């Protein structure tokens, strides 16, 4: 089984509020279906979550009642986004249902807690794909917080022990510098803890769940459980399908020392 994260930068235009990229999502879902692999999908919130979350500092937890309308609106928006992703999975022939983290789980000081695994396992047992996503989740200590798609990936990886975790973004992988600003930036095909120390922190994009460097650190942590974590460019047609079929593509693999 493969665990796939469809990043917000691929499925939405993160610079415009609630801008869904239907064409990209439809293609990626078809690639998943054509690969023939058993998969579980997580997706980011993109512009359906990050813009309002940043404006109201939702990632920092409860500080004033003025934040409450934003919490409700973000939950509304990301559920609508998830319904659109699920619609494309269904269109591609993949039975899928949305499982909103904010309605099912809690956080404890920023860490996602999946207290009851049975609903997810039961869906998989009968052949339905549970789809999790970035969401606002109630937090035992902070009042509320943001559960990123990457956090959902980490929780599912511990639960399901997938063969591989694939992070689909809009870049080829991790570079020595920001490839969108530095033409001399070089792709790092394999990342270890030592390699991370040499990576420019400028690659952290401006959103509420961290950027590429933060993502790679989380991927390294996940890889300590014995699986490879791969960052690929989902904007390149065929990339995801090729990877799922075991073919070599341009990407970055995170492998922790085991």
pLDDT tens per residue across span 86-108: 999 999 999 999 999 999 999 99
Please state which of the four CATH numbers 1.20.1440.230, 3.40.50.300, 3.40.1160.10, 3.20.20.70 is assigned to the domain occupying 2-254.
3.40.1160.10
Using alpha carbons only, what angle is made at residue 153 by residues 149 and 157, rounded to the nearest 5 degrees? 175
CA 258 to chain CA centroid, Å, is 24
- pLDDT > 70 in the chain, percent: 93
Tens of pLDDT along 26-50? 999 999 999 999 999 999 999 999 9
Look at residues 175, 251, 164, 256 and name the one whose alpha carbon lies nearest to residue 218. 256
Examine the pLDDT at 69 and tell me if it is beyond 60: yes
DSSP code at position 181: T
Q: Residue 192 — pLDDT band, cuts 50, 70, 90?
A: confident
Q: Is 258 helix (H, G, I), strand (E, B) or coil?
A: coil
Residue found under tokens 């956080």: 107
Tokens of 123: 């869906």
Predicted pLDDT at 258? 57
Q: 131 with 205: CB under 8 angstroms?
A: no
Examine the pLDDT at 201 and tell me if it is beyond 80: no
Residues 6+ apart with CB under 8 A from 243: 166, 230, 232, 249, 251
Look at residues 216, 192, 193 and name the one whose alpha carbon lies nearest to residue 204. 216
Tell me how far apart the terminal alpha carbons of the chain are, to the nearest angstrom: 21
Q: Residue 209 — pLDDT band, cuts 50, 70, 90?
A: very low
Bridge-based pairing state of the strands 252-254 and 228-233: antiparallel
């Amino acid at each position: 089984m493969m665990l796939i994260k469809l990043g917000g930068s691929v499925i939405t235009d993160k610079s415009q509020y609630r801008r869904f990229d239907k064409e990209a999502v439809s293609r990626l879902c078809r690639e998943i279906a054509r690969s023939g692999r058993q998969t579980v999908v997580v997706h980011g919130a993109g512009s359906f979550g990050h813009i309002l979350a940043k404006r109201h500092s939702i990632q920092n937890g409860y500080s004033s009642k003025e934040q409450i309308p934003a919490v409700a609106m973000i939950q509304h928006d990301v559920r609508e986004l998830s319904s659109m992703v699920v619609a494309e999975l269904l269109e591609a022939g993949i039975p899928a249902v949305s499982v909103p983290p904010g309605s099912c789980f809690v956080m404890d000081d920023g860490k996602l807690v999946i207290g009851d695994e049975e609903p997810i396992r039961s869906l998989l047992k009968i052949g339905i794909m549970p789809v999790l996503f970035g969401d606002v989740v109630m937090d035992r200590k902070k009042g509320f917080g943001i559960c990123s798609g990457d956090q959902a990936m980490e929780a599912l990886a511990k639960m399901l022990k997938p063969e591989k975790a694939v992070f689909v973004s809009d870049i080829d992988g991790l570079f020595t510098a920001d490839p969108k600003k530095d033409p001399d930036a070089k792709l790092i095909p394999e990342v270890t803890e030592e390699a991370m120390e040499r990576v420019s922190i400028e690659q952290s994009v401006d959103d509420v769940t961290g950027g590429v460097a933060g993502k790679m650190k989380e991927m390294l942590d996940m890889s300590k459980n014995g699986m490879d974590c791969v960052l690929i460019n989902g904007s390149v047609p065929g990339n995801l399908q090729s990877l799922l079929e075991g073919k070599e593509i341009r990407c970055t693999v995170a492998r922790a020392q085991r």
